[in-house]
Amino acid sequence: MSPVTVLIPTLLRPLVDDRSAVEIPLEAPAPVSAVLDTLADGRPVLARRIRDETGALRRYVNIYVDGEDVRRADGLSTPVAPGSEVMIIQSVAGG
């Protein structure tokens, strides 16, 4: 079993004990949605910051699996292999 490394953006780090990365155990390929479910288990605020009430990615959140944007692949169904790197990027806007 090789863990998936999920890279956490600075704004979300307080929701994961100020860690910059979280390892998710993965035995076989799984969809991005399952990796996010595991990451958000017991962290409802984190879950709401990444996905909306329908379970879709929020429009200001981008997810990359090994450098590939999941929106250009199969979205939250994009497979994640054991040992992969998942990067969460949260857009920040202001004026």
CA dihedral for 84, 58, 47, 30, sign (positive or negative)? negative
Residue 51 has a pLDDT of 97
pTM of the model: 0.92
Give the confidence band of 94 by pLDDT, cuts at 50, 70, 90.
low
pLDDT at 13 over 80: yes
pLDDT at 93 over 90: no
Q: What is the dihedral of CA 72, 50, 39, 75, to 10 degrees?
A: -20
| Dist CA 50 CA 56 (whole Å) | 8
Q: What is the pLDDT of residues 26-83, one digit of tens each?
A: 999 999 999 999 999 999 999 999 999 999 999 999 999 999 999 999 999 999 999 9
